[in-house]
Structure 1
Amino acid sequence: MKQQPDIDVVIRYLEEPGHEEHKRSLDEWLQLDAANLDIFLETKALWQGEVLPATGSYDIAHQWQLLDAQLTATSLPPVTVTVPPVQAVPTPSKGKARALGTSTWWAAAAAAIVIAAAVIIYRQPAYIAQQTAQNTDSLLLPDGTRLYLNAHTSVKYPRNFQKNSRDIFVQQGEVFVDVKHMPEKPFSVHLKNVDIEVLGTSFDVKETKQGVKVFVQSGKVKAIYRNGKNAVILTPGEEAEMLLAGTTISTRHHRNNNPIAWKTGQLTFVDAPLSEVAEILEDYYKVNIVLKGEGLADKKLLATFHKESLTEVLDILSKTLQVQAVQKDSLVEIY
């Protein structure tokens, strides 16, 4: 039987926290690696749409106490795992012992893992956070996968990937992912309500106020709503938009790589209507373009731009389509 990625254990548990089999699976998985508690808390925060806390901000002992009670409970309702500020772990008073009951083995194992987890998280964080300001950046992950980060983007990734899975978390912004091909070790990107699964490919994922956009340059990816109600498989040139509020997926096919122009610096238009050109230029140059006049939206443009300024593009646009473009700060009006 094919072994499932470790993250599936967490996802199944978060979907049905009262399911005994899922609780046992999570229990066993947490004991395999001290860093797994951190992974669980990260995934739970994203699952619930929370802002991920800074690395090392978990009260490890407190989290283990909560999980101990939750995973060993048989009739009580699920306990919510919270992420409080870091607090000093109190030293037990001499002469006092905690009643372990039938959980002696689990408590002993948990205590050992708590100590190991504390060392890992405070001395060598299990996760590395990367955030960009106004410039783009790139970084190489431990497995050889390269991430290209657009401006104002934040991602988190493990210092070392698990044995049978590779998981990263996009907290905000846009990332182009060039995945190292490892069929035996699937690569997954997790956002607020969407998960993306790949084997070896290059694709772009962008989180917007409305939802998530996924564009595939090469290979194949599967984008899944976390609630499991809808999914789509994308091939080269295809882009999907998945809204935060809902389960609908809209797709479109691109004849060019304009969705990743922020990375390549190149925009290509082949008989593209001006309405489409305006939409792409708005996203690339971060401006608002308004078309004023009948028939403007249907005018067709055949042109290629490579790292030209907006002023240069508007000048070429005006001469090619016989229109007038006026820019006022971040507003562009075309007559």
Structure 2
Amino acid sequence: MSDKEYIPVDETLLIRYLAGEAGPGEAMAIDDWLDADAANRETFRQLQQAWEQGAPAYRAPDARAEWERFAAKHQRPVRRMPVKWWMAAAAAVLCIALAYLLWAPHGSNQAQLLSHQAILRDTLPDRSVVVMPPGSELLFDKRFRVRTAQLKGEGYFDVRPDENNPFVLQVEELHIRVLGTAFNIRTAPDDILVQVNNGAVAVQHGTEETVVKAGRQLRYDRIRHTITVTEVTAPDKNVFAYATQQLHFQGAPLRDVVREVAKTYNVNIVLSNEKTGDCRLSTDFNGQPLAYVLDVITASLGLQYTINGNDINISGNECR
């Protein structure tokens, strides 16, 4: 980048870019600035992190007015500003612009992955893979120069490693940073569960950061505001079976089995005889078709099943 002409990147241009007001040439200049130096990307990532930890509710930004107030006190080039100074002095100015960049309902830089009908499997711009069950949502900047996204609901991520550009995910109260790993996140009204399949992630809540390694899971209690880390047992892995299609049952009640199978294959399963829910099953499945799974379950317990579109009915007598 040093041997060709480019538009200088300063505070005014950066704020215009974040507010969605930069022209094509200016946007290209900032893209080059991000590509040129890992420190530039880290500066921008720190700004986004500052917003994610304390941004106000969205409202349309007045970038010009904000810059005029900011520039009255500070007039140094962006590329020479220390990260800590940026976070302290610019976070208040840029948080609204960052919100606009990521959350404006019709912003040209916003991308949205959303599925209410089926399990969604998609590849992100950095070639990381995300799998989400129906009703979950992922928001991120289409350029994805800085790998930052926000998840609502549940998602399984297989992140492509990039030491110079960590993958950062905001999930409700938690801030998750990862270089390259596979992990699942599930949010519920009472808790948030982070399960690591391989690699490791750093989960931050407020000023507290907890590293979660492969084979372990972190549970954040949203009522008590506490964090616990435990081993991921075989049944725990069923939580993200919708992504891996690997199911593990050891003496599990049929009602639990059909719940996990229904989520994994995105179908509705009804037990016509509620007492069959007490029947217990020990078996594993590893990506087999739904028909095979149903055959094994019903044959093992002496039951029958019928399929009508997306609805499955399992009938038979209770176990003795």
What TM-score comes out, normalization by structure 2 length? 0.58
What SS does the corresponding residue of 1:128 show, helix, strand or coil?
A: strand
1:260 paired residue number: 240
1:246 paired residue number: 224
Instruction: Provide the rounded CA distance (Å) in 1 between the counterparts of 2:196 and 2:169.
Output: 14
Instruction: Provide the rounded CA distance (Å) in 2 between the counterparts of 1:209 and 1:195.
Output: 17
Instruction: Provide the rounded CA distance (Å) in 1 between the counterparts of 2:106 and 2:257.
Output: 50
- Listed as ranges, the gaps of 5+ residues in structure 2 are 1-9, 21-43, 77-89
The aligned amino acid for 2:17 is: A
Instruction: Provide the rounded CA distance (Å) in 1 between the counterparts of 2:12 and 2:157.
Output: 29
Paired residue for 1:202, among 165, 182, 196?
A: 182
Paired residue for 2:290, among 290, 308, 323?
A: 308
* Contact 1:222 1:233 (8 Å CA) reproduced: yes
2:165 paired residue number: 185
1:130 and 2:131 equivalent? no
1:199: Cα distance to partner?
0.6
What SS does the corresponding residue of 2:218 show, helix, strand or coil?
A: strand
Distance 1:41 1:125, change over 3 A: farther
2:60 paired residue number: 59
What SS does the corresponding residue of 1:34 show, helix, strand or coil?
A: helix
1:96 paired residue number: none
Paired residue total = 255
* Contact 1:289 1:331 (8 Å CA) reproduced: yes
- Listed as ranges, the gaps of 5+ residues in structure 1 are 1-27, 73-101
Instruction: Provide the rounded CA distance (Å) in 2 between the counterparts of 1:322 and 1:145.
Output: 43
The correspondence of residues 203-282 of structure 1 with structure 2, limited to 5 A, is: 203-225=183-205, 227-229=206-208, 231-250=209-228, 251-255=230-234, 257-269=237-249, 271-274=250-253, 277=257, 280-281=260-261
What SS does the corresponding residue of 1:180 show, helix, strand or coil?
A: coil
* Contact 1:35 1:126 (8 Å CA) reproduced: no
1:144: Cα distance to partner?
2.4
1:215: Cα distance to partner?
2.0
What SS does the corresponding residue of 2:192 show, helix, strand or coil?
A: strand
Instruction: Provide the rounded CA distance (Å) in 1 between the counterparts of 2:270 and 2:108.
Output: 42
* Contact 1:138 1:147 (8 Å CA) reproduced: yes
Distance 1:196 1:287, change over 3 A: farther
* Percent sequence identity over aligned pairs: 17
Paired residue for 1:34, among 13, 16, 19?
A: 16
The aligned amino acid for 1:254 is: T
1:31: Cα distance to partner?
6.0
Q: CA RMSD in A?
A: 4.9
1:75 paired residue number: none
